[in-house]
Every structure is written in C-alpha cells, then in structure tokens.
Amino acid sequence: MNALKIGKLPDTTPVKLSLSIPPNLQADLEDYAAVYADAYGEKAKVTDLIPSMLAGFMASDSNFKKARKALAESQ
C-alpha cells in the first residue's frame, strides 16, 4: 500500500481528569467565563474553557518547550 501524505491520526479520545481548586480560583474562572460570554456573545462552561486555557498556557511557556525538547532528546 502506498504511504499517504498524512500519518495516522492521533488518538483524540478525551481523558477525564478530576482536581480540586481553591475557591478564589473558581471565582476567577467563573469571571473568565462571563467575560468570554461578553466577548463572543455565547456562554461557555468553565469546564469547556479550561482545556484551551491550559493548552494556551503551555504553548506560551518557552522554558517548558525547551525542557520538553531536551527530555525527548535524552530518551
């Protein structure tokens, strides 16, 4: 069989994660959801916003990217 230009798609099955957060962080997240609703004209649950927030945070952390690359190279 000929190779395709794209590789096999990655597993995109969601992974459920439970965690506890302090009340002040919960309040901040609720405020963020309210600001999101004002900005985009549609409500979003905090639990739907958190994955994008975490992905954006990690993507912007240059020290994490360097350390991750070094870790991958050492394995």
- pLDDT tens for each residue of 17-75: 999 999 999 999 999 999 999 999 999 999 999 999 999 999 999 999 999 999 999 99
Dihedral angle, C-alpha 31, 34, 38, 43, nearest 10 ° = 150
Assess whether pLDDT exceeds 70 at residue 6. yes
Q: How confident is the model at residue 1 (pLDDT cuts 50, 70, 90)?
A: low
Predicted TM-score of the model (pTM): 0.76
Q: How many residues does the chain have?
A: 75
Residue tagged 């309210």 (tokens) = 34
